[in-house]
Structure 1
Amino acid sequence: MKCKEKVEISAISGSTVSFTTEGSNGSEGYGVFQSKDNILPPKTQLELENGKASEYQVTHPTSYMDTMLHIFRGNIGSGLLAMGDAFKNGGIIFATFMTAILGVICVHSQHLLLNCSEEMHRQLKREKPPGFAETVYLVFLHGPIRLRPIAPSMKLLVNAFLCTTQLGFCCVYIVFIANNVKMICDFYGVEVDLSIHMIIVVIPVLLACMVRNLKYLTPFSTIANIMMAIGVSVVVYEASRDLPPISDRDYIANWQQLPLYFGTAVYAFEGIGLVLPLKNEMRRPEQFQKPLGVLNVGMVFVGSIFIVVGFLGYLKWGDNVMGSLTLNLQAGLTSSNVVQSLIALAIMFTYPLQLYVPVDITWPALRKRFANTSPVAKELGYRAMLVLLTFILAESIPHLGLFISLVGAVSSTALALIFPPLIEMVVASQKPEGASCFMIIKDCIIILMGVFIFITGTYESVASIIRAFQG
Structure 2
Amino acid sequence: MGTSQTESAELSSAEQAPAVKHPTSYLETLMHLFKGNVGTGLFAMGDAFKNSGIILGTFFTVFLGFICVYSEHLLLNASHDLKEQLNLKSSPDFATTVELCFANGPENIQKYSLFMKKLTNVFLCITQLGFCCVYFVFVGDSLKYVLDQYYILDIHVHMGIILIPIFLTCLIKNLKYLAPISAIANVLLISVTAVCIYYASEDTPPITSRKYVAKPHRWPLFFGTVIFAFEGIGLVIPLKNEMKNPPQFDSPFGVLNVGMTFVTVLFVIMGFMSYLKYGEEIEGSVTLNLNKGDVLAQGVQVATGGSILFTYPIQYYVVYGIIWRFLIEHCGHSSHPQFDNFFFRLALVLITFIIAEITPYLGAVISLVGSFSSSALALMIPPLLEYVMCLRMATLTKWIIVKDISIATIGILGAITGTYESLAEIVYEIKNNTDSHEVAKKVIEESRKHIIKAVKDKIY
Q: So what's the TM-score if we normalise by structure 1?
A: 0.86
Moved over 3 A (4+): 25-29, 58-61
Contact preservation (8 Å) 2:127, 2:373: yes
Amino acid at match of 1:413: S
Determine the C-alpha separation between the residues in 1 that align with 2:263 and 2:14. 28
Contact preservation (8 Å) 1:86, 1:264: yes
Determine which of 249, 253, 265 is the counterpart of 1:304: 265
Q: CA deviation at 1:240?
A: 1.2
Contact preservation (8 Å) 1:27, 1:159: no
List aligned pairs for 1:40-439, cutoff 5 A: 40-41=18-19, 58-188=20-150, 190-368=151-329, 369=331, 371-432=333-394, 434-439=395-400
Q: CA deviation at 1:26?
A: 12
> 1:8 matched to which residue of 2?
none
Contact preservation (8 Å) 1:235, 1:326: yes
Determine the C-alpha separation between the residues in 2 that align with 1:27 and 1:247. 58
- Indicate whether 1:470 and 2:440 are aligned: no
Q: CA deviation at 1:370?
A: 5.5
> Percent of pairs identical after alignment?
49
> 2:7 matched to which residue of 1?
none
Q: CA deviation at 1:371?
A: 3.9
Amino acid at match of 2:416: I
Determine the C-alpha separation between the residues in 2 that align with 1:415 and 1:383. 25
Amino acid at match of 1:409: S
Residue by residue over 1:179-236, the C-alpha shift from the partner in whole angstroms, topping out at 9 and shown as x without a partner, is: 1111111122x11111111111112111221222333222221221122122121111
Distance 1:393 1:209, change over 3 A: same
Residue by residue over 1:74-102, the C-alpha shift from the partner in whole angstroms, topping out at 9 and shown as x without a partner, is: 21111101101001011100000000010
Contact preservation (8 Å) 2:13, 2:96: no
Determine the C-alpha separation between the residues in 2 that align with 1:349 and 1:300. 26
Residue by residue over 1:307-341, the C-alpha shift from the partner in whole angstroms, topping out at 9 and shown as x without a partner, is: 00000000000001011111011001110110100
Name the count of aligned residue pairs: 420
Determine which of 403, 410, 417 is the counterpart of 1:442: 403
Amino acid at match of 2:179: T
Determine the C-alpha separation between the residues in 1 that align with 2:14 and 2:323. 9
Determine the C-alpha separation between the residues in 1 that align with 2:224 and 2:126. 15
Residue by residue over 1:259-291, the C-alpha shift from the partner in whole angstroms, topping out at 9 and shown as x without a partner, is: 000000000001111111222222322222222
Contact preservation (8 Å) 2:14, 2:90: no
Q: So what's the TM-score if we normalise by structure 2?
A: 0.88
Amino acid at match of 1:365: F
Amino acid at match of 1:426: V
Distance 1:325 1:460, change over 3 A: same
> 2:458 matched to which residue of 1?
none
Q: CA deviation at 1:108?
A: 0.4
Amino acid at match of 1:390: T
**Larger proportion of helix:** 2
Question: Which residues of structure 2 form unaligned runs of 5+?
Answer: 1-11, 433-460
Q: CA deviation at 1:395?
A: 0.7
Contact preservation (8 Å) 1:264, 1:404: yes
Distance 1:215 1:128, change over 3 A: same
* SS of residue paired to 1:256: helix
